[in-house]
Structure 1
């Protein structure tokens, strides 16, 4: 693989892929790095490397999420046997980046991953349909429904 092309892919799509991976797992940077390593090892290279990267990141993130969930279940059981060390403080903040991220997290994964891939990843609905499966029209409907639901969630949270 041409190093300049790899550098371009990392610079252009690395942050968006990281955001995309964060929908499923906390180790998004590691997942994205491993995905780029897999791309370099591909022979021949995929004809469309960007959707290929999104699919690899998606699959690895889901696997990572499953591993995190198993670990978290184990830690939760261990924590239940011990008392709380501290109590969380009240959050007086209104709408901020944290709330927006939480609101995005309230969407079904089918809508959330499409919104992130389109808005931050710059993928077309056709490319997203290759990543998640289904038609571009179905992807667009999920995108539209997700934005509408996100607006509703954010509006309700501001009224509280």
Structure 2
């Protein structure tokens, strides 16, 4: 049993926890697929972390600890949902983003990301979007570093296939948009 935290330690824990909420929300969104489910997932993960703060050792990697809690909560919900019967109208909908540069590309990317197997999607989000090292992602996913590297590599290859990306020229604005915005790239 660990000793209770001092008020200063509790404040430090709270401050660090709050700093990670945007990254937790982004990861939750990639797992859950909808804003409301992602927000619920983050809220539950934060509540669990707060309740178990005595088990966290200050000075260690809180971000990895929080992501592990969130990931475990997501998979617990998925197992529970597998035992539940859904209604006939149980459809998922995505929020529509305001029209702006890249919104169509972002939607295409989200659709492609949703087509990946969950282990590959999780690995590429942890490494590519959340900025975790391979070692940290392996710890969160409770697998070997080589497994994470393999999942990321397969995810990248699959995303390239789905999005029909063959080279650097396929990134960014199309030729007409680039000419208008002055961001034309040399091929």
Higher relative contact order (CA closer than 8 Å, sequence separation 6+): 1
Question: How far off its partner does 1:103 sit?
Answer: 0.2
- Mapped to 2, the partners of 1:97 and 1:138 lie a distance apart of 27
Runs of 4+ in 1 over 6 A off after TM superposition: none
Root mean square deviation of aligned Cα: 2.7
Query: How many pairs does the alignment contain?
Result: 140
More helix per residue: 1
Match of 2:67 in 1: 54
Distance change in 2, residues 1:41/1:51 (3 Å): same
Say if 2:42 and 2:70, in contact at 8 Å, map to a contact too. Answer: yes
What's the secondary structure of 1:111's corresponding residue?
helix
Match of 1:15 in 2: 22
Distance change in 2, residues 1:121/1:9 (3 Å): farther
Question: How far off its partner does 1:6 sit?
Answer: 2.7
Structure 2 unaligned segments of length 5 or more: list them: 1-8, 90-102, 171-187
Question: How far off its partner does 1:154 sit?
Answer: 0.4
1:65 matches 2:78: yes
Question: How far off its partner does 1:44 sit?
Answer: 3.4
What's the CA shift string for 1:97-120, capped at 9, x where partnerless? Answer: 222101001111111101111122
* TM-score using structure 2 length: 0.63
